[in-house]
């Protein structure tokens, strides 16, 4: 019985059962009922998907206790008990499993119900609903067959909605439904309520393994082993006239997180009408106008539940003749923007602690929050095709497809997809997971499919009235516009507007709550977060997210612009130091400008600049016309250029002439870069931006390399100081990215001001796997489970990690304060971030848009 459970028991009772129990305990109006546990489900599964005799007996006993409590009984003509049989897994899976309503009705009790309530129409409406749901859920008869009967009769009689159906119409519909049973399954509808009950329980148990439930579990990492509970509950009726109805509310907006109750309502209807997405409900305001007292009560309940659970609630309710009943409450699924706003607001309202607030949002959510939006300027030029309901925010452009299967095929071909459907139905999950957006003609924002879209982070615009879909012809029509399958459509889930074609997007910006949240995360994290950034745009974004500075400027990226490439090529092609002079000077000027700009934006925060790392041949021309052009530009013969290219060609460039090895052959290049760095810093300093340049040397393996370069660069810097008659604090550190460097890190540390691990190269060299060639064999290793993960995706903490630990220990042997960072792209890998945190790393550096995610991860490591 619901009165016996509580909210802690969701593993056994399922989320829905535990919620119903908890609400009962709180004294909220919940129809009586009981829960068949997940343990019973597991027994059912073990028993070859059959309900064992003793379980059925127990259910019957509990039901008869319930009958006594409510003073009604199954099949009784004076006081017939009607019940619903509802699925409910330990983890909420909105709309993925089945539910049957109105069980207990048959040819006799339907008449009795009509007399008892003095409302024959209501009784027969409930009966036709039972036949429909039972037929679909228990016998697997396609929903369409029943829908067609309803459609036909409405057409013949010229009715607009189901509500116009009279008692006689409904009786006829019921007869037709019974024929469908015979035609489709050669079976009759069971008149015995007990038989209805056991068949429904059986079917709801089985729905744990239906296709959409499996897809949902896979997508959300939910175990297939949990099983579902089943709730048996007395019916209350939203379809009992104009003062009855059903709806879904959220205690705050699930799209934006805005405060205040938010929801949808459908008068004279049963719950399935709204959550299954077949009818478009109206905003809650309508309820406020028609039944203000009921509305106020509902708001009070919503508030009470939120205060009790300390979180935003998603509540299903039904009103029967002016009385409210609560049928479900759970923590509401929400968009990433709402997740952040709600967490911040709950902390500020004193409902939860700051630490709890930080734990409420997953790091991935922060990343999703930064998904692009339509460019507002572009949007003004576009014509709005139609406006639906903004069910899941964001910007999506894609090619339209009309079925989940077609969407999947298109996705597999690499296309971006907008799934366009008649109803907002949870069945479409298979298509939704591969789509950028979902657009539907009918259905509300509180339907299960809309809930799922928000959870998946895909855009959804639902209930677009003007939308006509012709699945056969594969076209849609919106007002005058026709779109064929595969044509582009853009959907704005924030405003509900649709546009033809593809609209340009821009990166989302940081709002007030987001920056507050990031500030809290930054305070909680022990490790500092830096960004890998080469441009002021990247740096600005990173600082905005709370980065402490730059952990890696890749200078080679700065050379890939036309003007610079030209100078660099001239440099590489030069035959002696004298010929290198002019291009070096030009490059120094350009790099100085780059660095100066970064320093100005960094405003004194650390900017770590790595000297040239890439193999020289990467910068040389490859095609005939390019070679001809370079030859002309440098006053050389084509033959000379070709010879030089051949000379620079390496068998294995990744392990060849790159990194600090370049500096040994061409010291002028590093000297030039250091000159640029120092002069830029001097300039920034002179303008009042206190700058301490951090110079980083790549690919060091030998203490002697470090010594040699340190000597070279210190001398160069000192010359610059003398010439300019100033001095400046500066640091020279090194990447630690070869196994040898890890092994002798103590010797390297003597000459290094800081270390920074390059995890890609270190992984490459530790395994001896060429990163560019792993496609040939790593998949097989993964298949055969010889490797647990791709080591370039998930840090190998065991092997590579052991080298890293050694290097940290050795590096700090004589200098316990040695700053040690990481500048590989490890932000996406939670195990790597945790590993570095445990091993006392000073900072982590990642791409700018990963900064929020890594910040939160590092904060959560401590909570």
Q: Which residues are catalytic?
A: 448, 823
Is residue 212 within the footprint of ligand ADP (CB under 6 A)? no
**Which partner, Mg ion, ligand ADP, none, binds residue 86 by CB below 5 to 8 Å per kind?**
ligand ADP
Q: Is 373 annotated as a binding residue?
A: no
- In the stretch 233-262, what mask flags binding to ligand ADP with x, by CB under 6 A? xxxx---------x----------------
Residue closer to Mg ion, measured from CB, 22 or 761: 761
Q: At 694, which helix (H) or strand (E)?
A: strand 694-697
489 three-class SS: strand
Strand partners, 554: 610
List the structure tokens of 318. Answer: 């039904």
Query: Which range binds Mg ion by CB under 5 A, 311-319, 565-573, 801-809, 835-843?
Result: 311-319
Residue closer to Mg ion, measured from CB, 93 or 717: 93
Residue 412 CA to residue 414 CA, distance in Å, equals: 5
Is residue 31 within the footprint of ligand ADP (CB under 6 A)? yes
Member of 213, 275, 385, 587 binding ligand ADP (CB under 6 A): 275
SS (H, E, C) 571-613: HHHCCCHHHHHHHHHHHHHHHHHHHHHHHHHHCCCEEEEECCC
SS (H, E, C) 287-313: HHHHCHHHHHHHHHHHHHHHHHHCCCE
Is residue 810 within the footprint of ligand ADP (CB under 6 A)? no
Q: Residues of 765-784 as b/e, b for ≥16 C-beta within 10 angstroms?
A: bbbebeeeebeeebeebeee
Residue closer to Mg ion, measured from CB, 316 or 556: 316
Is residue 200 within the footprint of ligand ADP (CB under 6 A)? no
Q: Nearest CA to 439 among 479, 373, 498?
A: 498
Q: Is 349 annotated as a binding residue?
A: no
SS (H, E, C) 762-830: HHHHHHCCCHHHHHHCHHHHHHCCCCCCCCCCCCCCCCHHHHHHHHHHHHCCCCCCCCEEECCCCCCCH
Residue 35 CA to residue 9 CA, distance in Å, equals: 11
**Which partner, ligand ADP, Mg ion, none, binds residue 761 by CB below 5 to 8 Å per kind?**
Mg ion
Q: How many residues does the chain have?
A: 863
In sequence order, the 6+-apart residues with CB closer than 8 A to the CB of 149 are: 173, 176, 177, 180
DSSP E strand boundaries for 586-689: 606-610
* Minimum CB–partner distance for residue 16 and ligand ADP (Å): 6
**Which partner, Mg ion, ligand ADP, none, binds residue 84 by CB below 5 to 8 Å per kind?**
ligand ADP
Query: Which range binds Mg ion by CB under 5 A, 153-161, 485-493, 675-683, 750-758?
Result: 750-758
The residue at minimum Cβ distance from ligand ADP is: 271
Neighbours of 728 (CB within 10 A): 16
* Minimum CB–partner distance for residue 31 and ligand ADP (Å): 5
How much of the chain is in helix, strand and coil states, percent to nearest 5?
A: 50, 15, 35
* Minimum CB–partner distance for residue 668 and Mg ion (Å): 22
Query: Which range binds ligand ADP by CB under 6 A, 232-240, 628-636, 775-783, 844-852?
Result: 232-240
Strand partners, 34: 232
Q: Is 760 annotated as a binding residue?
A: yes
**Which partner, ligand ADP, Mg ion, none, binds residue 823 by CB below 5 to 8 Å per kind?**
none
Member of 119, 316, 613, 825 binding ligand ADP (CB under 6 A): 316
Q: Is 758 annotated as a binding residue?
A: yes
Phi, psi of 313 (to 5 degrees): -110, 145
**Which partner, Mg ion, ligand ADP, none, binds residue 758 by CB below 5 to 8 Å per kind?**
Mg ion
**Which partner, Mg ion, ligand ADP, none, binds residue 695 by CB below 5 to 8 Å per kind?**
none
Rg (CA), the chain: 34
Is residue 269 within the footprint of ligand ADP (CB under 6 A)? no
Q: Is 586 annotated as a binding residue?
A: no
Q: What DSSP designation does 102 have?
A: E
Is residue 675 within the footprint of Mg ion (CB under 5 A)? no
Is residue 327 within the footprint of ligand ADP (CB under 6 A)? yes
* Minimum CB–partner distance for residue 111 and ligand ADP (Å): 21
Q: Is 45 annotated as a binding residue?
A: no
Restricted to residues 93-132, the positions that interact with ligand ADP (CB under 6 A) are 95, 99, 101
Is residue 761 within the footprint of Mg ion (CB under 5 A)? yes
* Minimum CB–partner distance for residue 763 and Mg ion (Å): 10
CA 803 centroid distance within chain: 34
Is residue 326 within the footprint of ligand ADP (CB under 6 A)? no
List the structure tokens of 572. Answer: 């590489």
Q: At 440, which helix (H) or strand (E)?
A: strand 437-440
Is residue 263 within the footprint of ligand ADP (CB under 6 A)? no
In sequence order, the 6+-apart residues with CB closer than 8 A to the CB of 718 are: none
Query: Which range binds ligand ADP by CB under 6 A, 165-173, 268-276, 389-397, 806-814?
Result: 268-276
Q: Is 538 annotated as a binding residue?
A: no
Is residue 758 within the footprint of Mg ion (CB under 5 A)? yes
Strand partners, 399: 417, 488
Residue closer to ligand ADP, measured from CB, 253 or 328: 328
Contact residues: Mg ion, CB under 5 A: 316, 328, 737, 758, 761
Binding-site positions: 554, 610, 737, 758-761
Indicate the annotated binding residues for Mg(2+). Answer: 737, 761
Interface with ligand ADP (CB under 6 A) = 31, 84, 86-87, 95, 99, 101, 233-236, 246, 270-272, 275, 316, 318, 327-328
């Amino acid at each position: 019985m619901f009165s016996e459970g509580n909210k802690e028991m969701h593993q056994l009772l399922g989320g829905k059962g535990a919620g119903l129990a908890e609400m009962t305990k709180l004294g909220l109006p919940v129809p009586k009922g009981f829960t068949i546990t997940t343990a019973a489900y597991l027994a059912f599964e073990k028993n070859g998907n059959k309900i064992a005799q003793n379980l059925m007996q127990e259910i019957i006993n509990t039901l008869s206790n319930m009958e006594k409590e409510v003073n009604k009984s199954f099949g009784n003509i004076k006081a017939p008990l009607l019940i619903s049989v509802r699925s409910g897994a330990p983890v909420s899976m909105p709309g993925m499993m089945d539910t049957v309503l109105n069980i207990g009705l048959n040819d006799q009790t339907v008449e009795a119900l009509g007399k008892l309530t003095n409302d024959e129409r209501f009784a027969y409406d409930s009966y036709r609903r039972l036949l429909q749901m039972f037929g679909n859920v228990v016998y697997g008869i396609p929903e369409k067959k029943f829908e067609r009967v309803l459609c036909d009769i409405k057409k013949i009689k010229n009715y607009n909605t189901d509500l116009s159906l009279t008692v006689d119409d409904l009786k006829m519909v019921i007869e037709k439904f019974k024929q469908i049973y015979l035609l489709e399954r050669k079976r009759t509808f069971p008149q015995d309520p007990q038989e209805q009950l056991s068949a429904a329980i059986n079917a709801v148990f089985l729905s744990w393994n239906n296709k959409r439930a499996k897809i949902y579990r896979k997508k959300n990492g939910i175990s297939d082993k949990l099983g579902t509970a089943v709730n048996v509950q007395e019916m209350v009726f939203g379809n009992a006239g104009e003062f009855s109805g059903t709806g879904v509310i959220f205690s705050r907006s699930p799209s934006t997180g805005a405060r205040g109750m938010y929801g949808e309502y459908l008068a004279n209807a049963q719950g399935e009408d709204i959550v299954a997405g077949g009818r478009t409900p109206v905003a809650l305001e309508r309820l406020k106008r028609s039944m203000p007292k009921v509305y106020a009560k509902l708001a009070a309940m919503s508030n009470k539940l939120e205060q009790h659970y300390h979180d935003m609630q998603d509540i299903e309710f039904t009103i029967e003749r002016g009385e409210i009943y609560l049928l479900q409450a759970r923590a509401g699924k929400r968009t990433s923007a709402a997740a952040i706003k709600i967490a911040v607001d709950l902390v500020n309202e004193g409902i939860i602690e700051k630490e709890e607030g930080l734990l409420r949002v997953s790091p991935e959510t922060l990343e999703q929050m930064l998904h692009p939006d339509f460019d507002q300027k572009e949007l003004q030029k576009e014509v709005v095709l139609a406006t639906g309901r903004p069910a899941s925010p964001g910007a999506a452009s894609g090619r339209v497809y009309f079925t989940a299967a077609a969407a999947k095929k298109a996705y597999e071909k690499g296309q971006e997809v907008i799934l366009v459907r008649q109803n907002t139905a949870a069945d479409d999950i298979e298509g939704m997971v591969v789509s950028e957006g979902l657009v539907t003609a009918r259905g509300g924002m509180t339907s299960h499919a809309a809930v799922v879209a928000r959870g998946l982070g895909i855009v959804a615009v639902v209930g677009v009235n003007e939308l006509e879909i012709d699945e056969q012809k594969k076209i849609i029509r919106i007002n005058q516009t026709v779109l064929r399958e595969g044509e582009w459509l853009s959907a704005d889930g924030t405003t509900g507007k649709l546009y033809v074609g593809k609209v340009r997007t821009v990166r989302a910006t940081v709002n007030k709550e987001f920056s507050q949240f990031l500030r809290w995360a930054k305070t909680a994290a022990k490790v500092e977060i830096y960004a890998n950034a080469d441009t002021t745009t990247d740096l600005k974004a990173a600082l905005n997210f709370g980065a402490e500075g730059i952990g890696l400027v890749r200078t080679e990226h700065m050379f890939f612009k036309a003007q610079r490439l030209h100078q660099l090529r001239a440099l590489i092609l030069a035959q002696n130091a004298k010929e290198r002079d002019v291009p070096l000077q030009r490059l120094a000027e350009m790099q100085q400008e780059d660095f100066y700009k970064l320093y100005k934006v960094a405003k004194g925060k650390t900017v770590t600049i790595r000297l040239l790392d890439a193999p020289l041949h990467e910068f040389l021309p490859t095609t005939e016309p390019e070679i001809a052009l370079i030859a002309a530009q440098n006053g050389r013969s084509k033959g000379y250029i070709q010879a030089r290219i051949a000379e620079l060609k390496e068998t294995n460039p990744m392990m060849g002439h790159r990194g600090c090895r370049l500096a040994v052959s061409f010291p002028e290049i590093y000297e030039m870069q250091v000159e640029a760095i120092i002069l830029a810093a001097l300039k920034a300093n002179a303008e009042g931006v206190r700058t301490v340049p951090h110079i980083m040397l790549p690919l060091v393996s030998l203490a002697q390399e470090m010594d040699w370069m340190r000597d070279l660069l210190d001398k160069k810097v000192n010359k610059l100081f003398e010439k300019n008659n100033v001095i400046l604090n500066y640091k020279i550190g090194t990447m630690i990215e070869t196994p040898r460097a890890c092994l002798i890190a103590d010797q390297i540390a003597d000459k290094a001001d800081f270390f920074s691990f390059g995890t890609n190269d270190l992984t490459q060299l530790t395994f001896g796997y060429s990163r560019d060639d792993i496609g040939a064999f790593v998949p097989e290793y993964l298949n055969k489970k010889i490797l647990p993960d791709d080591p370039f995706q998930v840090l190998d903490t065991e092997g590579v990690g052991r080298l890293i630990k050694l290097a940290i220990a050795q590096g700090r042997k004589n200098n316990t304060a040695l700053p040690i960072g990481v500048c590989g792209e490890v932000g996406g890998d939670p195990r790597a971030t945790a590993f570095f945190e445990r091993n006392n790393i000073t900072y982590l550096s990642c791409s700018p848009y990963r900064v929020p995610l890594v910040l939160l991860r590092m904060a959560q490591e401590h909570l």
